[in-house]
Amino acid sequence: MVHWIIGLILRHTFSPPDNTRMAHLCGPMDSHIRSIEAALQVKVAHRFEQFRIEGPKAKATQALEALQALYEMAKRPIPAEQVQLMLSGDTALVDPGDGALAMQTRRGEVRGRTPNQARYLENMATHDITFGIGPAGTGKTYLAVACAVDALERSAVQRIVLTRPAVEAGEKLGFLPGDLGQKVDPYLRPLYDALYDLMGADKVQKAFERQQIEIAPLAFMRGRTLNHAFVILDEAQNTTPEQMKMFLTRIGFGSKAVVTGDVSQIDLPRTQLSGLIDAERVLKRVQGIAFTRLSSADVVRHPLVARIVDAYDTRSPDRDDTSPAPVKRARRTAN
């Protein structure tokens, strides 16, 4: 006779009772509990510190482990996105109170939410040149800007320099009107967004007026030496090896450089080697340079983003979907 286990009811009591922790664990209007239910397809009921979880055995056990992990980090309010990240990936979250490195910004402390992100912040703090390589949504650019803002606020650097190759993502934008700043604005918009979020629009505008923040198209970096600056090269997968070498050799005394990119989204011609891929191979053993690899488990956007990244990464290599299908032409016959 075969017995099937179709469900499980787990009961757990958190003790000693701590009303503040319980409030942070459950979230506003029990929003964190509802997130656990939706993600794991279980039913969670609770009364004070007593929890009852009903669902398939594996999912109920996973829900209990999630509750226990959240309780450990519930000394302070837990952001909703942190709960989503825990439920959508198999990488453990970094407890915000475990002594991990934090960047000081207008929004308060900015910390890595996964071990890889925490390592990325540590590398930026301890190395003069840091590479952050990973898919969309893993915090490469945002954390780099947070480090730059923190360094500027502490007067560790005198200015922030933002640069990015002007390569369209599969589109031809044509002629862009305006002065130099207006022409490169569309390419640097992700960096601006992070600055506005971390510093506030007014403070960013004043920093531009005082030349504490500078935008510099990558092509215009040649011949410069950047002293006492925090320099960020974003979308580095669209540089050539020559451009990458040119950028890295601009670094002067008292400066830091962070290079970010996603090698799965290269917009260069197919015959052109990416400068980011080349740099990782050439510089991986150079002392003073750190490489941080991030993955879909580090995605801090909507949970679907991690699944989309994984789906594209596991796409069958047998078919080249980027090649256009051959066009059948009708044979013309003479009348």
Q: DSSP letters of 227-287?
A: -SEEEEE-SGGGS-HHHHHHHHTTB-TT-EEEEEE-TTS--S-TTSPPHHHHHHHHHTT-T
In the prediction, which pLDDT does 311 show? 85
Residue 208 has pLDDT above 50, yes or no: yes
When pLDDT is cut at 50, 70 and 90, the band that residue 3 belongs to is very low
Share of the chain above pLDDT 70, in %: 78
Q: At what angle do helices 140-153 and 115-126 cross, to 10 degrees?
A: 40
Superfamily (CATH) of domain 8-88 = K Homology domain, type 1 (3.30.1370.10)
- Per CATH, the homologous superfamily of domain 102-313 is P-loop containing nucleotide triphosphate hydrolases (3.40.50.300)
Kindly tell me if the per-residue pLDDT of 245 is higher than 90.
Answer: yes
Q: What is the pTM of this model?
A: 0.68
CATH 3.40.50.300 location in the chain:
102-313
Ranges for all domains in the chain classified under CATH 3.30.1370.10 = 8-88
pLDDT of residue 43: 92
DSSP label of 172: -
pLDDT exceeds cutoff 50 at 185: yes
Q: Provide the pLDDT for residue 98.
A: 52
pLDDT in tens, 210-244: 999 998 888 888 889 999 999 999 999 999 999 99
What is the average pLDDT across 76-86? Answer: 79
Helices marked H in the chain — which ranges? 19-26, 31-40, 57-72, 80-88, 115-126, 140-153, 180-199, 201-209, 241-248, 275-283, 303-313
Higher pLDDT, 37 or 103: 37
pLDDT at 90: 44
